[in-house]
Structure 1
Amino acid sequence: MQFSGDIFYYQKDGRRVSQFHMSTGENLLVSVLNSINIRNSDRASLSKPCILFLDEIELALHPSSLKRLVSFLDEMSMLYNYAIYFSTHSIELISSISPENIFFLERYSDNSVEIINPCYPAYATRILYDHSGYDSIILVEDDLAKELITRLLRNNNLLNSRLVHVLPCGGYTNVIELAREVVSSNLVGKISSISIILDGDVKQDAKSYMHKHAIKNNIPLSYLPIESLEKYLKHTLHDRVDHKLFRKLNDLSIIHI
């Protein structure tokens, strides 16, 4: 049996190291570079787009090498007009890829396939790991706010391609302090985006609290367009009774029973 094709070498300490003495990861890198070189040699013009498919490029590569490879491929795609697609099961790899460039292949029991794009890293790898984290974490004050935010996300189809966890923390100061701790300790890693949604009636109090305690971070902070539900119900059902709302809630409770 004879070997046909080019044998690659690299120079190290004045000596040549052949491809047959390279590691599996080094051989993979050589194969990728050779594939790009062959494709470029075959192309009549770089102005015409070219597609390159790579299968599981994370095999045998250290995470740091993998990041450098992805950066290199991104540079090559821009320089030589490539659309580069690679399959992967590595959350470390896709965590550095924007959701718009992630295509998740969902296979169903009838063997039909759906392509989900954009797709977020934790959603794409949710069946591969026991728990790969969340794509988005939203910190809110209480369970009522959690229910409201969750329904808004669901009704606006914002849960279709990402894993979102809405976490009630108990009061606006607790929310702000937990957010600060999450950021300072890198508690959730880099694949999860953190945001805060507070009740509308604490907007000034929250700003004063953050100013007083010199809390500065880049976490997105939003407010619900209403005051806390407890205060709203107390105001409309106790302090100044809204008869129509009272009757509606009362009728619903009777139907439920």
Structure 2
Amino acid sequence: GAGTVQATTLNPTTANVTLGNVSKQNNDVSQTLDLGGTSTDNQVTGVISNGAPLTGANNISVLKTGTSTWTLSGANTYTGTTTVNEGTLTITQSTLADTAAVGVLSAGVLNLTHASTDTVGSFLIDGVAQAAGTWGSLASSATNKTARITGTGILLVNATTGGFSNWSTANAGGQTADEDFDGDGVKNGIEYFFGAAGSTFTPNPALVSGTITWPKSASYTGTYKVWTSPNLSTWTDVTTAAIDNGTSVTYTPATGQGKIFVRLEVTPN
């Protein structure tokens, strides 16, 4: 049946799940539909949509976790990210948002069973933004081929539809990522990563239940790193220990190491 989503995780293990329409609850925050589990014939047959209100970057993102297989067969209209961390996500229609990011990790497969070319804002493999142009399976006619994509569909990565340059023109007077357009002490690149402008957000999130969470815009294109330091002098790259949930990045410091400083470094493109 139909349903609403607020950081919802579906984790079928002993049976398959079929959903109809899915939409965001009527509140002004970004939300994630986490499709997990281990069963192999799960489906969302209806439309996944942002719902209302739709303002700024507040939308639905789809996150595929677990070894399960999920199929999205509706004429989806959601505009958030689509990320395959593990297992297989099959998409039967070319309805990915033209400006959104699509990402696949090494344990995941994006299976495009339509026969179309679907425009997206960016394509990331293991968190690294890939070149603009067409992307497809190893057997496809795409310019760029990867084992992370299967099926007959092709992604057209159109960097001109989004990216930092467009964001900066609209929000930061065309300045560079290292400048601070609004003088709030937060560089433009960080504001672009957060999907926020001005001083209406928290640039230095607190440790909550042992975890630090940074918001991440569904439209962000580029790379990022998480660093730790015991003294603000020597820094260690701990990006591989961070978790990218599509609309946020979390890091949980190891216990028993005393005082530690954590910073987020972004390199937008």
* Same fold? TM cut 0.5: no
- Structure holding more strand per residue: 2
TM-score between the two structures when normalised by the length of structure 2: 0.29
The structure with the larger Rg is 1
- Structure holding more helix per residue: 1
TM-score between the two structures when normalised by the length of structure 1: 0.30
